[in-house]
Amino acid sequence: MDLSNKIALVTGGGSGIGRASALALAAAGADIVVNDIDASKASAVAGEVEARGRRALASVASVADYPAVEGMVDSAWSDFGPIDILVNNAGIYLFYDGPFGD
């Protein structure tokens, strides 16, 4: 698959499936906006993308914060242009250590 000249935004891209998605898209030729709530993780993955010869932007924003998401998209658009691919990966699992009802 050739994703040259495509822009991908990966939420939750700082680790796990999001990181793997960002790197796979970069390997296919896409430039990547790496979003995460952890700045150091987003920056690290953006560095990995750039090391593979693609452009990358680390974006710190919570997808639960609408104004922050607007800012993330505006920044991505300003730096790269329109987003072609969106990977909605961000999410948190909070462990519940209690009884479950029927």
Mean pLDDT (whole number) for 7-19: 98
Q: Which domains does the chain have, with CATH numbers?
A: 7-87 (3.40.50.720)
Q: Give the phi and the psi of residue 7 in degrees, each rounded to 5.
A: -115, 130
Residues 102 and 40: their CA atoms lie apart, in Å, by: 42
Residue 102 has pLDDT above 70, yes or no: no
What is the average pLDDT score of the chain?
94
Nearest-angstrom CA–CA distance, 83 and 77? 7
- Mean local confidence (pLDDT), 22-49: 98
